[in-house]
Structure formats: structure tokens, C-alpha cells
A and B are shown apart, each in its own frame.
Chain A
């Protein structure tokens, strides 16, 4: 691919904005538009942007992730939150929430649903990027 300076410069800046927004979506999901699934797709689209503007090899060297692990990790987190409620004698996947006062952040709502959502996030990021990179790498 031709070296497209302006695209590269734009991408470098845009990716970080997109990624921060993705994390915001993930964490804000419980009370505002967003959530694990949307956040994950946003993250994936940021990485896809990287793949498109640079090339697959370059990005692979930068992000040395093995995406199948993402799927496993995310599923374990999601199922783990479900099972942990069973250990305390509640039905599978019962979610809990509480409010806590943290320094700097002030009143923060802590939910087990967020942990579950992070599991969803990791799985969806893994799935999307795994599919895209697998198809992209494949040269018939």
C-alpha cells in the first residue's frame, strides 16, 4: 500500500479518541447509552481502522494479541459472574449492585452486571477481530 501520510496521521489521533470513547461506552452502559457490546464494536472498528490505514503485518507487530484467548477469557468472566452468585445461594446470573464512596470519583455505583458486561466486551472484541484478521490473512 502507498504511504498515505495524512491518513496515517489522522488514524493515529482518531484511534485514541475512538478507543477512549469505546471504554466510556463500556463503563457508562448501565445508566447511559452504551454497554459491552457497543463498546466492543467501537473498539473493533478502531482496530479495523488501523488495519485499513496501515497494513496487517505492521499492526500485528504492534498488537501482539492472540484473539482466541479473548473469547475464552471473556466467556470465563461472564459465566464466572453467573456461577459466583450460585456460590452464595442465589440462582445463576443473579446480579447485585451497591453504592460506594471512592476518593476522587465520589459516589460510584458498583455492579456485578458491569463485570458481566466486561466479559461480553472481551468476547465480542475477540470474535470480531479474530474473524476479520483470519479472513484478511487468508491468501488463496
Chain B
């Protein structure tokens, strides 16, 4: 079976990443971004061709066995949800790369690193959303965490970048680990990693005693990735990344992976009240916390970071609320929240992407992102100002932009939530619209701060490093396209409704439909005088009032001790501060830096592991009967080998020791000759020759072999270990022979002997095993050899003294 084009779409960015350094080195006159731009464009166009198929409610599945014995297959499952995300990833990817060409200077920045990580991210993210197998999804998931951390640390000479990079890594990867545990539990319950098969066994999962732990473990992965409270703390620090990265990974795509996971696994878990309350509860609190904290920020990107946290919480809460549909049937009243979640997800990517790009332009053209220094830029940057007005108004939920529509749908579904009678909603349901209203007011305020503190007010040239002017056209095109979409989706939301939103909702509710019917999504700006409309009006009114009186009530943040850093950060910093020294101490105990200690560990482990296994399974056996007669010359050679080996530890001269060791080796080769093993003998002879030459070379550089005055106990442990290994290997050899006759274990040798000629077309069985039957082993062996050789070169040539750590600029 061949690789499908969809598989290639995932793999291509990784392969392309490998050639990026060549473009950077060999064609320095052209910005590397132009070459990189091609691939996402092609992928985006290719994915667009799937829209007709997917909007008919069909799915595309491409199977590729990977490790079928463990149920791990590189299967691709392209349905509405996957298509929506993959279009976002490739589409925003194109715009972000175009933007980055003008944002990053080709002469000053290490573009090869940047685009390498970016392509790695893109491939990984496409892998996450297109995989139909949880294990493959997990692998790509961790790759997105890795590439995200690398991109945050892109300017690695800055202390803050390294801090942010490490933080994002620690938070998202630990979440990823717990998600892996959750996936493993799902495998324990259902016996499969294939998502569609797990969804088919939803009843088995729900009945399992492991249901709650599984759900929590999986949600931990989703919440850390999608920056839900209290794991949101990594996102503001991730803003140290170059702005194109913030726009791409940390607002439009990667942080939505958690949303994706929740949506993808909704069919599995959504039948429980725990899922409903955890997902919507964390979502609502994150929504509130994010918007409330965004208002106190003074850095443009920090405002956007907290805004992203809040918006992610909002989408999460809608997904939680939408899960109620699994109880009450799939009527519009319950599915509205999920439709709104999907719609807002698209809208958020458009307006937030454009706002991040605006923040980048402001930073690029003025040299600062601090709103206390900015102001009055409207006259210098009229186009940027227009873009940010549209983006921010959409975020605030003002007509006629797309944010208004999804915000309205959000409020409507929150009001609708109060009508749910079970799940404790009768008593607690009022929380939903209340939190939504408060958070929306703060969303309105920070949206206004974002635009008006930057572009209106007093121009303060003395606080700026550069004289501001409009950005180059290349930097303006991507945000213009995004705000263009904001406006288009605002006026014509239904171009998305049938093509993308319907199939995506259908993926979230696979049981919602019978037969040919499909979700009919129709979005309209006017619903009459509904509670949602009154809420919007009151949000705008209160928001304007509070924005104008901002200075009067802003002290509340100081009063609540929120003005310095997010309180959750104290916990994170406290943990890191305490754990790192302990980890260092623990690591130093076994890692002495002495090669002989490491050898001792390995041999001790070998002895313990093998002796235990042999003992546990009754593997010790010696058979003396039926043994061929040992000729006298073999006895002689063995005796000489033993004598030479015993001599080595007592030799005082290094050259003599080397010669004695080689002597043993050559005699072993002789034994191989006697037992008619020409391949082994040849190899042994050559290895001995080359290593002897190598030893003699090293010998020049080694100090005189001193008579070390080490403690006798130390030497005794060495004696015990070496005798132990010798005895063990001998016993194993004898046992394997005895077990063959006693327990009837068939030797695998016959298989190779019989099949080498027919299957592999070779008569030298040893070689056939090496290159064909066990070719994979050989491949990894040469890989290890290569790495070892490069390691030796690094050790010898670089001669680091341990003080080369990066210094602050």
C-alpha cells in the first residue's frame, strides 16, 4: 500500500525542514522565507479540494500500518473537525510566513533555525489533527510542544526567552505525559488506539471503573496545551517568541490543540456530568481570569496573551456546555453551544492573528510594545490602525464583524444553559450567563485599551527609540487578509456554515444523526429582541463606561495583589526553585564522571536482570550428556586465553597490557576458525587489528599507569563483578544448549538456514541475517557507530572547559 498524499502532507514539512539550512547558507541573497512559503501554500490548496467531499458529510480515511502488533498505525482520519483545523494550520501558516519575511531581517537573524522549527511545528500540528490513532497523535502532540519551546527560546541569548521556553516545555510536556497515561488507560479499556473504534465502544468506556481517571488524565493534557487555568501561566511567558510565532502557535493553532482534543474525544466522554462540569467549569473560570487579567497588562503582547487565554476558556466552556446534548438529544437548543464553539474558533484565529500582527508591526516600527509609551500612532500608521480597529471590535463583539456573531451565539447558549434542569443546573445554572457577561465586559475593555491606548491619545516621541512610520506592504498584507476575512465572515457567515461548521459539528456529535440528515447550521445577525441582544447592548454600555473610568478603579488589581505577576506563577516558581536543586543532587549521586563506575553499573544491572530472569523462569540448566569430545588443542588454547586474561590486571606497563589484551582477542579468533565460523573469525581478527592500532594511538595521550592506592573493597567489587559476568555468560550459553533438548525449545538457527537462500537470495547466512533478516538492527548499529564517532570528535576537538554557557548580551 502506498503513502497517500495526506500522509505526504504531514511528512513533507519535516523533510522540507531538512533542506532549509541549505537555502539559508547557499542562497543568502533571497530571504529563506520565500522558499518556505511554497510548501504551506501547496498544502492549503490541496486541503481545500477536500471541502466538497467533507461538506457532504463523508470522511476520508487512509490506513498505514506502523506497529500493527501494538495497535499503533499511522492512520489518517479526515473529517470536518480535522479539515477545519488543518485548513487553519496551513492557511494561517502561509500568512504568518509571509509576515515573517518582513519581520525577521535576513542578515541579522538565524532564519534557518526559525524556519526549521516552524516547519517542524507545522508538520507536527497537521499530524495531531489528521491522525486517527491516539498514539500517533501523542507523538505529534509532543513534537508541537518541543517545537513551540524551541521557537519561544529562539532568541536564546535572552534570559526571559529561556525562562518562557522552559516553562512552556515543563507545563505542556507534563500535561502530555498525563495524556499519554490517559490514552493508555483508554487502550486498557477498549483494546484499541484507533479513535473511531474507541468512539464506537463508548458504552464500554462509560461503564468502566477507570472512566473518571482516564477522563481527568486526558483533560490534563488538553488543559495544559490550551492554557486553561491554572496551567495558563506558560502562555504570557511564551510571548518572548518572535511575533509571527505568537500569532501562529500561541493564538491560532497550537494552543487550540487542547480544544481539538476535547472536541475529538467529546463523543467518548460527554455522556457524564463530570465531563460537563469539569470542561465547562474550567473553561468559564479561565474565561473570567484571562479577561480580568488582560486589563491590567501594559505590554501589547501580554494583553493579547491573556486575551487568548480568556478566549480559549470561552471555547472550552462552550464545548463543555455542548456536551449536554449527549443527554437531551441533539436539538438546536443544546447543540448551539458547540456550533458557537466551532464558529468562534475560526473567528478567533482571524481577529487574534491580525491583532498579533499589528502588535508586531507596532513593535517593529516604534521599538516598544509598552502601552504607557505608545499613543497617537494613528496619523503615522493609518492602515495598521484600521486593521487593529476591525480586529479589536470583532474581539469585543461589535456588529458587523464575525466576533459579534459568535459572541452573540455564545451568550445565547449561556442563557439557554439555565434551562437545563438536571446536572445541578437548576441551582447553579445562573453562573453561566453571569460569568459570560462579566468576562465579556472585561473583553470589551481590553479590546478598547489595545486600540485606543496605542493609536489615539498623546504622541510621545521622547519615549520611542525610532521614529514611527507605516509598515512595509508585505507586513500589512497578511493582517489585511485576516481582517478581510473578519468582515466577510461577519456579513456572510453562512459560507462557513455548510462547508466547514456543519461537518465539524457532526464530528463532535457522531451519534447525533441518523442516516442522511445533517446538522443544519444557519447563522444570522438578527434574532429579534433576545436576552443575548440585551446582554450585548449592556456589555457595550458598561464596557464604555468602565473604559472611560479606567484610572478610577484600576487600583483594584493592586489591592488584589495581581499587579506584579499572576499568583499561579508563585507556585510554579516555588516548585521549580525547590525541585531543581534536589534533581541536581540526585543526578550527581550516580553520575560520578568516571567511566569505570558507569561500566560497573551496566554490568551489575546485566547480572541482576539476567540472574533474576533465569531464576524466576527456572532457566538454569546444564546438560553434560550428548556433548562432543573436546580435542586437546582446544583445551590448550582455552588455557592460554585464560592465563593471558588473568595476567592483564597485574601488568604494570600499559603497552604490555594492550598487547596482552590483543593476544586474547587473536586467540579467540583462532577458536572461531576451529569452529568453522569464517565470518566471525575475520571480523574478530580485523577488529583486533584496528583496535590495537587505536589503543596504541591513545596510549600516547594517557598518563603513566600509576599504582593507584584505591581501597581494597573497591577492587574486590570489581573482581566480583567481572567474575559474575563471566560466570553468567557461561551459564547462559550452557543453559541455552540444555534447554533446547530439555524443554524442546527450537533453535531459530534452522529458520535462517532454511530460508536464507529462498527468501533473501543469499548463501552466506550470517550476512543475510545482518543485512536482511535483522537489517533494522544493523541500521541502528551503524547509526550508533556514527553518533559515537562524532561524539569522540566533539570530545577531542572542542575541549570544552564547562564554562561556555551562554552569557547575557
The closest CB in chain B to the CB of A30 belongs to B762
The closest CB in chain B to the CB of A72 belongs to B786
The closest CB in chain B to the CB of A71 belongs to B786
CB atoms of A123 and B771 under 8 A apart? no
A124 and B698 in contact (CB under 8 A), knowing A68-B793, A71-B790, A113-B760? no
Q: For the complex formed, measure the closest distance between the CB of B69 and the CB atoms of chain A, giving whole angstroms.
A: 12
Could you give, for residues 688-709 of chain B, a 1 whenever the CB lies within 8 Å of some chain A CB and a 0 otherwise?
0110011001100100000000
**Which of B1, B767, B771, B797 has most A Cβ within 10 Å?**
B771
Could you give, for residues 768-809 of chain B, a 1 whenever the CB lies within 8 Å of some chain A CB and a 0 otherwise?
101110011011001101101110110011000000000000
Partner of A134, one of B686, B687, B690, B792: B792
CB atoms of B796 and A134 under 8 A apart? yes
The closest CB in chain B to the CB of A140 belongs to B701
Residues of B near A134 (CB, < 8 A) are 792-793, 796-797
**How many interface contacts (CB-CB < 8 Å) are there between A and B?**
149
Identify which of residues 76-134 in chain A touch chain B, using a CB-to-CB cut-off of 8 Å: 78-79, 82, 86-89, 92-93, 95, 97, 109, 111, 113, 116-117, 119-120, 123-124, 126-128, 130-132, 134
Interface size bucket, A side? 35 or more
**Which of B690, B768, B782 has most A Cβ within 10 Å?**
B782
Q: For the complex formed, measure the closest distance between the CB of B38 and the CB atoms of chain A, giving whole angstroms.
A: 22
The closest CB in chain B to the CB of A82 belongs to B779
CB atoms of B690 and A48 under 8 A apart? yes
The stretch among B448-456, B495-503, B661-669, B675-683 that forms the contact with chain A is B675-683
CB atoms of B761 and A126 under 8 A apart? no
Q: Cβ of A23 < 8 Å from any Cβ of B?
A: no
Residues of B near A44 (CB, < 8 A) are 690
Partner of B697, one of A89, A92, A132: A132
Identify which of residues 29-86 in chain A touch chain B, using a CB-to-CB cut-off of 8 Å: 29-38, 41-42, 44-45, 48, 52, 68, 71-72, 74-75, 78-79, 82, 86
Residues of A near B783 (CB, < 8 A) are 75
Q: Cβ of B748 < 8 Å from any Cβ of A?
A: no
Q: Cβ of B589 < 8 Å from any Cβ of A?
A: no
Identify which of residues 416-437 in chain B touch chain A, using a CB-to-CB cut-off of 8 Å: none
The closest CB in chain B to the CB of A22 belongs to B686
A37 and B764 in contact (CB under 8 A), knowing A75-B782, A134-B796? no
The closest CB in chain A to the CB of B773 belongs to A95
Q: Cβ of B630 < 8 Å from any Cβ of A?
A: no
Residues of B near A120 (CB, < 8 A) are 771, 778, 782
CB atoms of A34 and B679 under 8 A apart? yes
Residues of B near A71 (CB, < 8 A) are 786, 789-790
Bound together, the chains give a CA A95 to CA B797 distance in angstroms of 39
CB atoms of B763 and A135 under 8 A apart? no
Bound together, the chains give a CA A140 to CA B795 distance in angstroms of 13
Q: For the complex formed, measure the closest distance between the CB of B789 and the CB atoms of chain A, giving whole angstroms.
A: 4
Bound together, the chains give a CA A88 to CA B678 distance in angstroms of 36
A31 and B679 in contact (CB under 8 A), knowing A131-B789, A136-B697? no
Bound together, the chains give a CA A68 to CA B768 distance in angstroms of 28
**Which of B678, B679, B788 has most A Cβ within 10 Å?**
B679
Bound together, the chains give a CA A72 to CA B678 distance in angstroms of 30
CB atoms of A111 and B767 under 8 A apart? no
Residues of A near B2 (CB, < 8 A) are 87-89
Residues of A near B693 (CB, < 8 A) are 45, 48, 52, 132
Residues of A near B687 (CB, < 8 A) are 41
CB atoms of A68 and B790 under 8 A apart? yes
CB atoms of A113 and B768 under 8 A apart? yes
Could you give, for residues 598-621 of chain B, a 1 whenever the CB lies within 8 Å of some chain A CB and a 0 otherwise?
000000000000000000000000
The closest CB in chain B to the CB of A119 belongs to B782
The closest CB in chain A to the CB of B762 belongs to A30
Could you give, for residues 1-32 of chain B, a 1 whenever the CB lies within 8 Å of some chain A CB and a 0 otherwise?
11100000000000000000000000000000
Residues of B near A72 (CB, < 8 A) are 786
Could you give, for residues 490-528 of chain B, a 1 whenever the CB lies within 8 Å of some chain A CB and a 0 otherwise?
000000000000000000000000000000000000000
Bound together, the chains give a CA A82 to CA B774 distance in angstroms of 12
Bound together, the chains give a CA A72 to CA B686 distance in angstroms of 23
CB atoms of A95 and B694 under 8 A apart? no
Identify which of residues 696-751 in chain B touch chain A, using a CB-to-CB cut-off of 8 Å: 697-698, 701
Residues of B near A111 (CB, < 8 A) are 760-762
Bound together, the chains give a CA A43 to CA B752 distance in angstroms of 29
**Which of B762, B763, B790, B796 has most A Cβ within 10 Å?**
B762
The closest CB in chain A to the CB of B701 belongs to A140
Spell out A's residues near B (CB within 8 Å). 25, 29-38, 41-42, 44-45, 48, 52, 68, 71-72, 74-75, 78-79, 82, 86-89, 92-93, 95, 97, 109, 111, 113, 116-117, 119-120, 123-124, 126-128, 130-132, 134-136, 138, 140
Pick the 10 closest A-B CB pairs, nearest first: A97-B761, A41-B686, A33-B678, A30-B762, A31-B763, A127-B789, A71-B786, A123-B782, A113-B771, A35-B767
Given contacts A82-B776, A89-B2, A126-B786, list 18 more A-B pairs with CB under 8 A.
A30-B771, A32-B764, A34-B682, A35-B771, A41-B687, A42-B686, A45-B690, A48-B693, A68-B790, A72-B786, A75-B786, A88-B2, A93-B779, A113-B768, A116-B779, A126-B789, A127-B782, A127-B785
16 contacts between A and B (CB under 8 A): A30-B762, A32-B763, A33-B678, A37-B770, A78-B782, A93-B775, A93-B776, A113-B760, A116-B775, A117-B767, A123-B786, A127-B786, A127-B788, A128-B690, A134-B796, A134-B797
